[in-house]
Amino acid sequence: MQVPQTHETVTSAQWVEAARSARDAGGRLVALWGADDRDRSGCFVVLAAFALREGVRVARLAVQPGTPYPEIAGLFPAAARMQRAVRDLLGIEAAEARDTRPWLRHGGWRGDQFPLRRDFEPSAGAATPATDYRFVRVEGDGVHEIAVGPIHAGIIEPGHFRFSVVGEKVLRLEERLGYVHKGIERRFRDFTIAEGHRLASRVSGDSAVAFQWAYAQAAEAACGIEAPARARWLRALMLERERVANHLGDLGALGNDAAFAFALSQFMRLKEDWLRLGARAFGHRLAMDRIVAGGVEADLAGPDAAQMIAQCDSVEREVRELRAIFDESSSLQDRFITAGILTPAQAREFGVTGLAGRASGQAFDLRADLPCDPYGELAVRKVVHTAGDVATRVKVRFDELAESLRLIREIVGRLPAGPLRAALGEPATGAFGVGFVEGWRGETLVALEAGEAGSIRSCHAHDPSWQAWPALEHAVIGNIVPDFPLINKSFNLSYSGGDG
């Protein structure tokens, strides 16, 4: 079963009304992006995907060259950075936008070049040197700035954090990202629909399964097909295993950031064993290239299935013991409790989903709310808390880990027999489809439009970090600078997924 979705072309007034009605109905802006349609219609297009109770609604607005389109950041604040990215990549403006600074431009191409335009020539001329970025200044007695990054002391991806502080207290944090922009949206056009899953796997490595599945859903919706039952259940198995692997790694890293190195060694041991079994069963530690449009490339053999069940039992026992150690460590809880609070109101305002959203009272989980097969048969138990601090995000990870272990046992025990793939066929030129999956970090969306002869005309992949990065800026306010690494890790947002 595909995710329920509607696609409609709208006028400028309807564009704003679509956003307003989605907000008033309790919906969320999932993604906003643009495309160059001048070769067909003489216009650019800007698209927005909204998550509603009944499914995903995509609004498509034609934009004449040189004409701005209505901004919607006043209705959905998370749209501001997405609108800036559209400006950088296509050169079309949001009218009356409050923030017109570049987002993805770091001097990689000339100022008059726009990489998503179909006439863009990457080798044409020298790049324009990057200019100074206008960070917002905080004035006052005793206020000074601390610049962190974009190059860090560890092996994390680059991102710049500008703190305005008095002593060690954070008054403001402003982020600048985009340093690992890879041109993925443009690169998709070099693949056929049958090949695109390979690039989707690599949007953000820790969410390889979520992006593959969302891509497969989008391709299948465009082609009008459905993957076989066994393939759908195997996809869910891979997704839950991805969730467990990331929660194990994060729990260890969070302990380590609070000077509890014992947690890092124990959880990383569990994660490594988990990934090794995944590699034996599916041929890749991160299950890259295992989900394809029309089905899956890897099956689950009997011995591997038995070992997965046994590993779930073992991990559950050990995690239960480790959770007790976490809960009983006063020094650890002192660092976790009340640190980095994201209130339910803030989470709702920015549209934060996934584990960070559910730790702040946002009771959204696509596996339960808009379940694609087989989740409709699995009765996923949502994990929702409201305190919104580091301790609560840790609690959500522990609870979701336990639920995923339960789901894995059930999936393996009920795995239906049958084929692994369905014939993809060739979609009509212009056919459009959306994939929407509850990844371990949150709601992962892929929107795909078919070109001629099975080619990809456009494909947009959206990571939930887009919504959570600006929320992190608010969660840090009032905390001390040394707690920022811990707060940041408790969200564990993707640089690569957001930068595209």
86 contacts 69 by C-beta, under 8 angstroms: no
159: in domain: no
173 contacts 161 by C-beta, under 8 angstroms: yes
Going 420 to 297 to 185 to 162, the CA torsion angle's sign is positive
Question: Is residue 412 located within the same domain as residue 310?
Answer: yes
- CATH number (domain holding residue 223): 1.10.645.10
Tell me: the pLDDT tens digits for 299-319?
Answer: 999 999 999 999 999 999 999
Cβ neighbors of 73 (< 8 A, separation 6 or more) are: 79, 80, 83, 94, 97, 98, 99
Q: Please state, as a whole number, how many other Cβ atoms lie within 10 Å of the Cβ of residue 188.
A: 24
Question: Is residue 73 located within the same domain as residue 201?
Answer: no
The pLDDT assigned to 488 comes to 96
Question: Is residue 405 located within the same domain as residue 299?
Answer: yes
Tell me: the pLDDT tens digits for 365-380?
Answer: 999 999 999 999 999 9
What distance in Å separates the CA atoms of residue 492 and residue 474, rounded to the nearest whole number? 15
Question: Is residue 199 located within the same domain as residue 305?
Answer: yes
448: in domain: yes
Question: Is residue 204 located within the same domain as residue 70?
Answer: no
Question: Is residue 334 located within the same domain as residue 478?
Answer: yes
Mean pLDDT of each 10-residue bin along the chain, 500 residues long: 89 97 97 97 97 96 97 96 97 94 88 91 69 88 92 84 95 95 94 97 96 98 96 98 98 95 96 98 96 97 96 98 96 96 98 98 96 94 97 98 98 97 94 97 98 96 97 97 95 91
395: in domain: yes
What burial class does residue 32 get, using C-beta atoms within 10 Å of its C-beta: 0-12 exposed, 13-18 middle, 19+ buried?
A: buried
96: in domain: yes
- CATH number (domain holding residue 88): 3.30.460.80
128: in domain: no
Question: Is residue 265 located within the same domain as residue 364?
Answer: yes
421: in domain: yes
Cβ neighbors of 108 (< 8 A, separation 6 or more) are: 127, 181
Of 74, 106, 138, the residue that ends a domain is: 106
CA 94 distance to own-chain centroid: 24
Question: Is residue 376 located within the same domain as residue 463?
Answer: yes
Question: Is residue 239 located within the same domain as residue 96?
Answer: no
Range of the domain at 369: 184-499
Of 84, 106, 128, the residue that ends a domain is: 106
230 contacts 419 by C-beta, under 8 angstroms: yes
334: in domain: yes
Question: Is residue 236 located within the same domain as residue 370?
Answer: yes
Of 106, 136, 164, the residue that ends a domain is: 106
Question: Is residue 219 located within the same domain as residue 349?
Answer: yes
151: in domain: no
Tell me which amino acid residue 271 is. K
Number of structural domains in the chain: 2
Q: Could you tell me the two tokens for 442?
A: 């949150």
The pLDDT assigned to 153 comes to 76
3-state SS track over the chain: CCCCEEEEEECHHHHHHHHHHHHHCCCEEEEEEEEEEHHHHCEEEEEEEEEECCEEEEEEEEECCCCCEECCCCCCCCHHHHHHHHHHHHCCCEECCCCCCCCCCCCCCCCCCCCCCCCCCCCCCCCCCCCCCCCCCCCCCCEEEEEECCCCCCCCCCCEEEEEEECCEEEEEEEECCCCCCCHHHHHHHCECCCCHHHHCCCCHHHHHHHHHHHHHHHHHHHCCCCCHHHHHHHHHHHHHHHHHHHHHHHHHHHHHCCCHHHHHHHHHHHHHHHHHHHHHHCCCCCCCCEECCEECCCCCHHHHHHHHHHHHHHHHHHHHHHHHHHHCHHHHHHHCCCCCCCHHHHHHHCCCHHHHHCCCCCCCHHHHCCCCCHHHCCCCCCCCCCCCHHHHHHHHHHHHHHHHHHHHHHHHHCCCCCCECCCCCCCCCCEEEEEEECCCCEEEEEEEECHHHEEEEEEEECCHHHHHHHHHHHHCCCEHHHHHHHHHHHCCCHHHHHC
The pLDDT assigned to 500 comes to 78
Question: Is residue 430 located within the same domain as residue 321?
Answer: yes
